[in-house]
Amino acid sequence: MINLAIISENHERVHEWMKIEHVDIAAILLTEGVDSNQIPKELKHKLVHKPEDILSMDVDLVDLCVPAQVKPDMIRQLYKEGLHIFTETPLATDANLAATLYKECKDKMVGLYVGNTIRFSPEFLEARKHVENGQLGRTGVNRISSKDKHPGDNADIFLELGAPVFDWLYWTFGEVERVIAKQVQKQRKDGSPVEYALIDLRHEDQTFSHVELSWAGSEKQMSFELTGNQGMLENDSKNSQPIVVEGAADIALEEQILGKTAIQRELDHVVQVIKQSQKPIVTTEDAIKAVKITDAVKKSVSTGQPVELKEGVIL
């Protein structure tokens, strides 16, 4: 069994971990403002009130589900006690900080594992397989959209919505060599914020990826359209239909894949990585690369100019 501590800004994370085998939830720390009444009755005695409470416990892994802005201090507090850490993309607010945290954890011989639920989504997994297998031919232009309701505060749309998408695009189509991006921030009549961003990525193989990010919706929605010289593949999460492919063999998602959510598959994978010393699907180097692309996107927004990269390094 893996003794797990959860530090989270939402109670849903606890419910997801309860579905994972070979895990014993040893401690739950909810960030300020999260309703602890949503925690199941059988786990209420696991609630703690500060990170120091976790440091003195017998814990193998800490799931750190908090905004990127507060991750560095918490990661440093945890690795000093030799606690392995799992967190979602993005790892940090900029690539230099992400690389520094990785090095510090490595020097302490502490595992720093980074997730991205998009990589565990059946639709995106199947799409990547079709690209890898050459069923679309030579890839040309991709369009991918990620929308959600605005989280409020000073949230960063490029980190929170963009970085997971950039990671999947890098994983699927390779290094990004050029980015150009625009951002629009407005308020509705009721004062609530809305935000949009358009990003064009050019990969080293000359594939183009057009990314739309939107914090103007009422719920999470993702869609993609991938094209090659032998076919097109598209999917929209708001539709109940599976992936639709034109000009290529039909895709039928296996029922057993759909038996678990992307988050559950991701957490299952993390457990196997810890228990069996497997290489994670998302490496920490991948996570740093995603933040490097995000850095380039934000630089393009601030300067209004394209930004060039070479092997992930901004020129």
Least confidently predicted of 10-14, 127-131, 287-291: 10-14
pLDDT of residue 247: 45
Q: What is the architecture, at CATH level 2, of domain 118-253+284-314? A: 2-Layer Sandwich (3.30)
- Whether the per-residue pLDDT at 254 is higher than 60: the answer is no
Q: Look at residue 67 and tell me whether its pLDDT is greater than 70.
A: yes
Instruction: Match 């699907």 to its residue by tokens.
Output: 281
**What's the pLDDT band for 237 if we cut at 50, 70, 90?**
confident
Query: Hey, what amino acid is at 82?
Result: G
Domain-wise residue ranges, the chain: 2-117, 118-253+284-314
Instruction: Say which residues have a Cβ less than 8 Å from residue 156's Cβ, sequence separation at least 6.
Output: 68, 93
CA distance 303 to 312: 19
Give the CATH H-level superfamily of domain 2-117: NAD(P)-binding Rossmann-like Domain (3.40.50.720)
Query: What pTM was estimated for this model as a whole?
Result: 0.91
Reported as a pLDDT band with limits 50, 70 and 90, residue 240 is low
Bridging pattern class, strands 2-8 and 23-30: parallel
130-151: per-residue pLDDT in tens? 999 999 999 999 999 999 999 8
Nearest CA among 221, 224, 214, 99 for reference residue 173 = 224
Contact between 306 and 300 under an 8 Å Cβ cutoff? The reply is: yes
3-state secondary structure of 277: coil
Asked if the peptide bond before residue 122 counts as cis, ω within 30 degrees of 0, the response is no
For 170-196, write each residue's pLDDT tens digit.
999 999 999 999 999 998 888 888 999
